[in-house]
């Protein structure tokens, strides 16, 4: 392995005992290029050709107030597979806020847990006072990596091979874009939404495979909401209005505290991909909150949607932490808000909603073969976490046709990343490929990349590849075939 270390960025971060500034969440401040990565065990397969991209939170400067891990500065990691070899790069996302704080040499914005007035400059996005750190989500669209922030910032583009900055996405509207834009690989289109505190409170848009905004419409909601994800079928997009959102009285004081609103149902809005505002149809369902959806498809008169239903979207604070910290720890702990794999069916003819639990385990951060996005699929891949923590302890593969599942649990002190599916070259069927993940090993203070053969899931990794440094944990990731990067779309099959 040959490693080239880039010049250091300016940091004012001080040593801390904060649970999300230490351990597997210790910020990584080093940027490198590494070629011909060393294989620890196994062999890098030569039947995949593409990139695994991971977004992480890495706080650069000393926080102005109470730090939340989602405040951290975005850093994109990329491992490229080609001809049985692997290369790696990582870069901070050079947002406007990143550049401003580099010039100032200190934090300029408060965080998610801070009171009004903490920030030294006006903030960005739906929250209104936060830094746009572009640290939440990452997708590949129109030949570029697009990094986004869950509170609706700008979409920052990076070159998929070099990670060089490629500017702000021209398709991004003035109201910003939420995390979790969805890319339909068969058309190359990107479907996205945003939300805010002023009417109509949500917008929905489509960017074509060249990166041009071709559709953008308002979505009227009863008030400010906190949607986080969306889904799509071949002909429809699915938006949402859940009963967990900001406390309206506190919001008038510019205090952003979310709570469940008793008596309100969940609502799912189904709109044709290029639909007008008045074409959206709303379906009621059991009260919950959903961070992430899996897939959706059309089946006769129904739209079928899979995702993770939270049993307690507003959990009680965890014990044993200082005031305010227990609340944050509970909202980061899946064993507190208890997400379960779930299916909704929306009948376009009758307006009826039916719901079904698919698994009793606490699971989230699901992935599937993106060549089946928007159409019926069979296999889903979820993660499970360490109780009390936002740390992935393993993965589960589901056969949604038979109900079978297979599980991998990592050794104590080893944590995974969100793990997308990478199809083999000339794949024969839906699960013909690999799950890709970065691991953080707190026992050895190292990181590695693993590939799991999804045809033999329970057997564990077929290869372990050393990374040049220990990465920080984070939220989302994606896989992109090189053909998709070059062409902008992939024919299904």
List, for residues 335-364, the tens digit of each pLDDT value.
999 999 999 999 999 999 999 999 999 999
103 φ/ψ angles, rounded to the nearest 5 degrees: -70, -40
Over 70: is that where the pLDDT of 6 sits?
Answer: yes
Q: In the predicted model, is pLDDT for residue 493 greater than 60?
A: no
Instruction: Name the one residue in this structure whose structure tokens are 């053909």.
Output: 483
Least confident of 16-20, 76-80, 212-216, 249-253: 249-253
Closest CA to 135 of 230, 239, 28: 28
Average pLDDT over residues 126-151: 96
pLDDT at residue 125, rounded to an integer: 87
Q: Is the pLDDT of residue 31 over 70?
A: yes
Phi, psi of 299, deg, nearest 5: -140, 95
Query: In terms of residues, how long is the chain?
Result: 493
How far is residue 327's CA from residue 338's CA, in Å, rounded to a whole number? 15
d(C-alpha 437, C-alpha 213), whole Å: 32
User: What pLDDT, in 10s, does the model give residues 450-461?
Assistant: 999 999 999 999
What letter does residue 350 receive in the DSSP assignment?
A: T
Q: What is the pLDDT of residues 86-113, one digit of tens each?
A: 999 999 999 999 999 999 999 999 999 9
* pLDDT digit string, tens, across residues 315-335: 999 999 988 899 999 999 999
Question: How far is Cα 361 from Cα 335, in angstroms, rounded to an integer?
Answer: 10
| Residue 420 · residue 43 · CB < 8 Å | no
The average confidence (pLDDT) of the chain is 97
Q: Which helix (H) or strand (E) holds 85?
A: strand 85-92
Helix (H) or strand (E) holding 138: strand 137-141
pLDDT band at 431, cuts 50/70/90? very high
Residue 492 in this model has a pLDDT that exceeds 80: no
Smallest CA-to-CA distance from 475 within 41, 127, 55, 122 is with 55
Please tell me the predicted confidence (pLDDT) of residue 322: 86
Quick check: 434 pLDDT over 80? Answer: yes
pLDDT in tens, 193-251: 999 999 999 999 999 999 999 999 999 999 999 999 999 999 999 999 999 999 988 99
Answer whether 283's CB lies under 8 Å from 268's CB: yes
* H/E element, 77: strand 73-82
Q: What percent of the chain is predicted at pLDDT more than 90?
A: 95
Angle (nearest 5°) at CA 460 between 459 and 461: 130
């Amino acid at each position: 392995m040959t490693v080239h270390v880039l010049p250091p960025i300016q940091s004012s971060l001080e040593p801390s005992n904060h649970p999300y500034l230490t351990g597997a969440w210790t910020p990584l401040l080093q940027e490198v290029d590494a070629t011909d990565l060393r294989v620890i065990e196994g062999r890098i397969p030569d039947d995949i050709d593409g990139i695994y991209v991971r977004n992480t939170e890495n706080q650069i400067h000393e926080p102005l107030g109470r730090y939340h891990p989602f405040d951290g500065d975005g850093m994109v990691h990329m491992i490229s597979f080609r001809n049985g070899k692997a290369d790696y790069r990582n870069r901070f996302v050079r947002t406007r806020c990143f550049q401003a704080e580099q010039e100032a040499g200190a934090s300029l914005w408060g965080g998610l847990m801070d009171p009004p007035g903490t920030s030294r400059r006006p903030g960005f996005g739906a929250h209104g006072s936060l830094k746009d750190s572009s640290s939440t989500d990452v997708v590949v669209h129109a030949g570029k990596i697009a990094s986004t922030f869950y509170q609706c910032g700008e979409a920052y583009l990076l070159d998929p091979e070099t990670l060089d900055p490629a500017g702000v996405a021209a398709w991004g509207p003035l109201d910003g874009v939420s995390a979790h834009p969805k890319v339909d690989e068969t058309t190359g289109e990107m479907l996205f939404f945003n939300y805010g505190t002023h009417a109509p409170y949500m917008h929905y848009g489509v960017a074509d495979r060249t990166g041009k905004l071709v559709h953008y419409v308002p979505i009227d909601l009863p008030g400010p909401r906190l949607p986080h994800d969306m889904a799509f079928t071949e002909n429809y997009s699915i938006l949402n209005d859940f009963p967990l959102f900001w406390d309206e009285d506190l919001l008038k004081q510019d205090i952003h505290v979310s709570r469940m609103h008793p008596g309100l149902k969940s609502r799912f809005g189904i709109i044709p991909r290029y639909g007008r505002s008045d074409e959206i149809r709303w379906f009621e369902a059991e009260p919950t909150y959903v961070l992430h959806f899996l897939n959706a498809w059309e089946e006769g008169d129904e739209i079928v949607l899979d995702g993770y239903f939270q049993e307690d979207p507003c959990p009680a604070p965890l014990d044993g932490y200082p005031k305010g910290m227990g609340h944050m720890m509970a909202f980061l702990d899946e064993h507190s808000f208890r997400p379960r794999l779930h299916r909704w069916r929306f009948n376009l003819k009758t307006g009826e909603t039916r719901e079904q639990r698919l698994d009793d385990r606490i699971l989230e951060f699901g992935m599937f073969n993106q060549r089946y996005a928007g159409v019926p699929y069979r296999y889903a891949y979820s993660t499970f976490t360490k109780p009390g923590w936002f740390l992935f302890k393993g993965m589960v593969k589901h056969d949604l046709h038979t109900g079978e599942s297979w599980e991998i649990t990592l050794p104590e002190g080893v944590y995974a990343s969100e793990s997308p599916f990478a199809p083999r070259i000339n794949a024969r069927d839906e699960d013909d490929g690999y799950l890709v993940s970065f691991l953080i090993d707190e026992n050895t203070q190292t990181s590695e990349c693993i590939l799991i053969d999804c045809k033999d899931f329970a057997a564990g990794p077929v290869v372990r590849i050393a990374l040049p440094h220990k990465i920080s944990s984070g939220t989302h990731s994606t896989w992109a075939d090189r053909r998709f990067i070059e062409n902008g779309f992939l024919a299904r099959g």
